Every structure is written in C-alpha cells, then in structure tokens.
Amino acid sequence: MTNETIGNNWARRFFTIFTGQALSLFGSSLVQFALIWHLTQKTGSATVLATASLFGMLPQILLGPIAGTIVDRGNRRIIMIVSDSLIAVSTLLLAYLFWSGAAEVWHVYLALTVRSAGGAFHHPAMSASTTLMVPKEHLARVSGANQTLQGLVSIVAPPVGALLVAVMPTQNVLMIDVLTAILGVTPLLFYSIPQPERKDVHPSAPKAGFLQDLGAGFKYMASWPGLLMLGLMAAMLNFLLAPTSALTPLLVTKYFGKGALELGSLDSFFGVGMIAGGITLSVWGGFKKKIVTSLTGIVLFSFAILAIAAAPADKFWIMIVSMFFIGFMMPMANGPLHALFQSVVEPGMQGRVMSLVSSVAQAMMPLGFLIAGPVTDATSYQTWFWVAGILNLLIGLGGFLVPALINIEENHKETRAEVNTNPDASRQAQIS
C-alpha cells in the first residue's frame, strides 16, 4: 500500500475514525472500573475478582489466531462495526439486568467474556487497517498518539469512574459506554477502509481455505527469523513486566511502608510519564530505524526497574521517579514496536500476525503471575523487580547484536524487491 494509494487526505479520515475509537475506549474503561467496583462491593472476594480478570483475558488469548485470520479474509470495516456493536449490545443487556435488579455475578462474567471476544476481533482489525490509512513514515507518530491516548485514559478513567459510581447507579455508567460505542461506530459508517490485496497465493490459484490461511499466519512468522524474534521479544516483555505491576501494591505497603495515597500516586506518575513519552514520540517520530527506538526504550526503562529493586526502604521517592521514567519510556518501546509490525508485515497478513503475537503475549501474563508469586513469597518483595530489570536489560542490549532483528526493516525491503523482480516467487518470498 503506497502513499499515493493512501492519498493526501489520509489524516482527516484516519483521525476521525481514531477519535471515535478513543471515545469508545474511554467508555470501555469506565465500564471496566464500574464492573470491578460492583464485584468488589457485592462480594469482597479476591477469587471473584481474579475470575473476572480471567474471563476478560481468556477469549482474546484463545480467539486471537482465529480472529486474525477472519480479519485478513474479511472486510475489516464490517468486522470493526460488528464487534463494536456486539460489545454495545452486551453492555445494554447488562444495564437492563442492573436496572431490573436481576444482575448476578455470572452475568458480569458473561458480559466480560463477550466484551473480550469482541476486542479479539476489533483490535487486530483496527491495527491492521491503520497501515492502509496512514503513510509508513507517520506510523511511529500515530503509535505515539495511541500511547498518549492510553496514558490519558489510564489517568482520567479511574477517578471519573469513581465519581460516576458514587453519584449514579451502575446501569447509568454502562449506558455511557453504549453511547461512546455508538460514537465509535458512526465514523465507520461514513468512511471506507481500504482492503489489502491477497498476495499469499498466486492470482490464478483458487482462494485458500480458512485453515490454510490460519496455517499461513504461523508459517509466515516461523519462516522469518527477525519477525519471529520480534514476537518472542514482545511475549517475554509481557512475561517479565506484568508481575511487577501486580506486585507493586505489596512493595509499596510491605517494603516501603506506605498506604493507598502513595500507591495511587504511582499510577498517576506512570500515566503522566506515558503521556509525556507518547507526545514526545508523536512529535519526534523516533530514530530512523524503529527497532533502534524500541530497543533503546527497553534498555532505559530496565534501569528504572533496577532502581526500584535497589531503592532503600526509606527512599520511596526513587520509586516515584522511576515509575514516571518507566511510563515515559513505554511509548518509546511499545510505539515503534507496534509500528514495526505494521510496516514490515504485509497488509494481508497483519491480522493473523498481530493477533498471534497478542495471544502469545497475553498468555505469558498469567504464566508470569504463576512464577513470580511463589518466587516473591520465597525470597523478597524486590526479587522479581531484579529479575525483570536484569532480563529486560539483556533482551534490549542483546537485540542490538542480532542481525536478523536489528536489520529487520532492511531485510523487509530486500524481500519486497525480490518479489517485485520475480512475481512467480511471491508466495515463497512472503514467508521467508
């Protein structure tokens, strides 16, 4: 998809859709807060909250590869409309149950499952569509804007959600999400989204079946060392970083001896840092090589994690500064990484590849929890921060030394050149 194909008025179309999706994301965050608060107030059970998190996570892990294949085979605009609408309908039904006083815990579980399943289709469709609407030289900046948005939502949504659940019943908060979902779908009704050309088979060959397309996604990644390493790196980062977030309350209360106010301040400093980092990336755009920006971000936030691990119990300010710095560096690491997937993976394969990476990365989170918990109980509250900091640092530094990874963008250009000079080898080149 060339810049000429995208057109000069790409920004109006993309940012109109992006704004609608941003409003929908904010509404979803409000619902997430309201439902978790409802379960906390109604049950006071850690098991119930953990189960709710599981229902909100498993569909995206299990459906990821299937959803990605459907995204690549189908109309991405229609998929986004249907998935958003399905989420809105499930929220509307749950709001009715709350209004009628019939809502049970299992209803919330079911709604979380449907919302997660809808997200499994919506996220890869939107991400893969971005490549078709945004010129490649602006992908890193768009990723920075997306990181800024996530930082803003992480800061604004919890206090707004807390205010709303205090002044209105849960069903009214749910209706806000229905409204924002409508605002998210509306631009999709008026703007078209280009469809990728299918290049994974020869034009004269019969269209591949669903299982063939599903398998092609696995082959595409497995046969491209640089892309495979990129996916494994994303999975390892999730495995190492997710437990640090879960263990932070223990570190704050048990090691630093602080309370809820100090714990909340860490989220605020992290969010402010994420916004600052996202804005910086949006303006700057990163180094010429996206992978260099990402690896640099990983290396630098690794030092901040190690600073938290090494901080004395009476120096809580070190953790505050470190959390701001980690938040600032997260867009530098994640934004270019996401833009890299968008720029090197063929548009017709992006749904499958990004869904596969997302599924594996999310699956690593509960695995990280299972390992980090016992390790922390058997040692100290800082141990996993040492583990995460050291291994992240090694991953970041090691990436600079791996030719297949550091040269992934150049290798991609060579592959495209080979395809252009030898059209009959297009299928072979795309998975090599």
Report the alpha-carbon distance of residue 257 to residue 247 in Å, rounded.
14
Residue 366 pLDDT = 77
**119: exposed, middle or buried (C-beta count within 10 Å: 0-12, 13-18, 19+)?**
buried
Contact at 8 Å (CB) between 343 and 3? no
Residue 97: CB atoms within 10 A of its CB come to: 17
Residue 251 pLDDT = 85
Q: Which residue has the higher pLDDT, 242 or 394?
A: 394
Residue 18 pLDDT = 85
Query: At the fourth CATH level, which superfamily is domain 3-192?
Result: MFS general substrate transporter like domains (1.20.1250.20)
Q: Tens digit of pLDDT for each residue in 123-182? A: 888 877 887 788 877 777 777 777 777 777 777 777 777 788 778 888 998 999 899 999
Between 92-101, 285-294, 361-370, 419-428, the lowest mean confidence (pLDDT) is in 419-428
Q: Does 205 score more than 70 pLDDT?
A: no
User: Which CATH number is correct for 211-430, 2.40.50.840, 1.20.1250.20, 3.90.280.10, 2.60.40.10?
Assistant: 1.20.1250.20
Q: Tens digit of pLDDT for each residue in 48-94? A: 766 777 788 788 888 877 887 888 788 888 998 999 999 999 999 99
Residue 421 pLDDT = 40
Contacts 24+ apart (CB under 8 A), 166-169: 169/98, 169/99
Work out the percent of the chain whose per-residue pLDDT is above 90: 20
Report the alpha-carbon distance of residue 146 to residue 149 in Å, rounded.
5
**What is the pLDDT confidence band of residue 227, given thresholds at 50, 70 and 90?**
confident
Residue 418 pLDDT = 43
> Nearest to residue 191, comparing CAs of 2, 12, 6, 27?
12
Comparing 3-192 with 211-430, is the CATH topology the same? yes
Work out the percent of the chain whose per-residue pLDDT is above 70: 86
286 membership: H or E segment, kind and range: none
Q: Does 200 score more than 60 pLDDT?
A: no
Q: Which amino acid makes up residue 103? A: A
Q: Tens digit of pLDDT for each residue in 316-354? A: 999 999 999 999 998 888 877 777 777 777 777 777 777
Q: Tens digit of pLDDT for each residue in 235-265? A: 898 889 888 877 887 788 888 988 767 776 7
Q: Tens digit of pLDDT for each residue in 12-25? A: 888 888 888 888 88
Report the alpha-carbon distance of residue 32 to residue 224 in Å, rounded.
38
Q: Which residue has the higher pLDDT, 417 or 280?
A: 280
Compute the mean pLDDT over every residue in the chain, rounded to the nearest whole number: 80
Residue 81 pLDDT = 92
How is the chain split into domains, by residue range? 3-192, 211-430
For residue 218, report the phi and psi dihedrals to the nearest 5 degrees. Answer: -65, -45
Q: Does 312 score more than 80 pLDDT?
A: yes
Residue 385 pLDDT = 94
Q: Looking at the whole model, is its pTM more than 0.85?
A: no
Q: Does 206 score more than 60 pLDDT?
A: no
